Amino acid sequence: MNETLKRALSGAVYIILLLGCISYSQESLAILFGVFLLIGVYEFCKIAALNLFVSLPIAAISYYFLWNKSQNFTIKTIIVSLSIIISIKLLLYLFNTQKTNFKIATRYLLLIGYIIIPFVITNYVAIGKNGYNPKILISILILIWANDTFAYLVGKNFGKNKLFPSVSPKKTIEGFVGGMFFTIISSVLLSKFYIESNILYIWIIIAIIVSIFSTLGDLIQSKFKRVAGIKDSGKIMPGHGGILDRLDSIIFVIPFINLFYLILYYVS
């Protein structure tokens, strides 16, 4: 099969499955991301040289007990805070050109804060004031896709200054700025015509969070793969690689979206 056709078909199946499960119910979203989590843990164990038979039970048990705790703000605050701390550690890792490896205990912390918790709290993002609202999570996914698409298009046509050449030679500053601009435009349109929200500034802030941290998440995953000496995290999606290749932006954005939610909750 032609590689382009293979990539298009697997991408279409992925998007239909993702949007279908999110739209159908809270439970179908939980099941899908539970499956994604187990695959993601398998891929991360290969990249980080972790014991799969220790990591999978930790992931499965954590997900089972935490996926529906979005209304327990004590638990939510604790696990989101842990994920943010790990995310900051990963940002330091990204910008430290000398550091390539972590101690084994730190790698297990990364498994928890970088992989497990983001998959858990993706379920929390879809909970609005009136309960489960798939439009919220779908909108965030659209913003991530908009940022990736327009960053690529602007960078390809106008990019001259490299953003992070040591990790991702193709990303440019112009692409990053263009991606953020069009993500904000997309956010305004989604807020007005899809979500029908009257609080526009919230979605503009979410767009900025998405643009910044989805880009950083992609760079972090690229550095992991570069250090591990691999092109893709897995082969489950023909033409696209693994689950972590597809969800690297999402799992790094989600903790910061949840942090923003918590800030709104505690200051309101």
- 3-class state of residue 77 by DSSP: helix
Percent of the chain with pLDDT over 70: 97
What's the pLDDT score for residue 226? 83
Average pLDDT of span 18-30: 95
Interval 170-206: pLDDT, tens: 899 999 999 999 999 999 999 999 988 878 899 999 9
CA distance 56 to 246: 20
CA distance 237 to 39: 11
What are the residues facing 132 on neighbouring strands? 127
pLDDT of 6 over the 80 cut: no
Could you tell me which of 11, 6, 30, 20 has the C-alpha nearest to residue 145? 11
Angle between helical axes of 73-95 and 117-125 (0-180°, round to 10): 120
What's the pLDDT score for residue 3? 61
On average, the pLDDT of the chain sits at 90
CA distance 115 to 108: 10
Interval 86-132: pLDDT, tens: 999 999 999 887 767 788 999 999 999 999 999 999 999 998 878 89
Each residue of 226-259: b (16+ CB within 10 Å) or e?
A: eeeeeeebbebbebbbbbbbbbbbbbbbbbbbbb
DSSP state of 168: E
Interval 49-98: pLDDT, tens: 899 999 999 999 999 999 999 999 999 999 999 999 999 999 999 988 77
